Every structure is written in C-alpha cells, then in structure tokens.
C-alpha cells in the first residue's frame, strides 16, 4: 500500500518523468525504482529532509496563524528565543 501511495505522489509531482520511468521499467532498460525509500539513501539526506520539513511547516503554520488572526506572527509569543 505504501509503494502505491508513494508512486501516486511521484506521479502528481511530475507525471512526465513518472511515465517515462514506468515505460523504461516495463521495457527492461531501467531497474524498478523504489519510490517508498527514494529519499532515505543516507543519514545526511534524512537530516536535510527533516530540516526542510520543519522550516516548511513553520512557515505554513505562521501563514495560517496570520490569516486566522488578521496579522501578527506565531513566533511573537515565543519568548524563549529572545534573551533580554
């Protein structure tokens, strides 16, 4: 089930490359690509992906907070970052 889901995600990200990869796999000119484990090849890649996800989540949460409250930032109430 996980492989099917990740294959759909890859399809929606770039349908042309996904279709090309699938055709190459069927003809035997390319090995079967494992979409479920594509981004876990090294510990460094896992760390970089996690950092990227945290940054994207923070900006998205801040945007929703801004839209919901008509201004301000979610980071305004976080006082432990600022030492006075």
Q: Is 35 within 8 Å of 3 (Cβ atoms)?
A: yes
pTM for the structure as a whole: 0.49
DSSP state of 30: S
Ordered per-residue pLDDT tens for the chain, 84 residues: 455 666 667 777 778 888 888 899 899 998 888 777 776 778 888 888 889 999 999 888 888 888 888 777 777 665 555 555
The domain ranges of the chain are 1-38, 39-84
């Amino acid at each position: 089930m996980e492989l099917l889901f990740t294959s759909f995600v890859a399809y929606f990200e770039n349908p042309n490359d996904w279709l090309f990869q699938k055709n190459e796999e069927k003809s035997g000119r390319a090995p079967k690509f494992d979409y479920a484990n594509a981004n876990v090849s090294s510990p460094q890649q896992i760390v970089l992906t996690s950092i990227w996800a945290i940054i994207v989540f923070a900006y998205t949460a801040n945007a929703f907070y801004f839209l919901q409250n008509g201004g301000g930032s979610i980071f305004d109430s976080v006082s432990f970052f600022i030492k006075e």
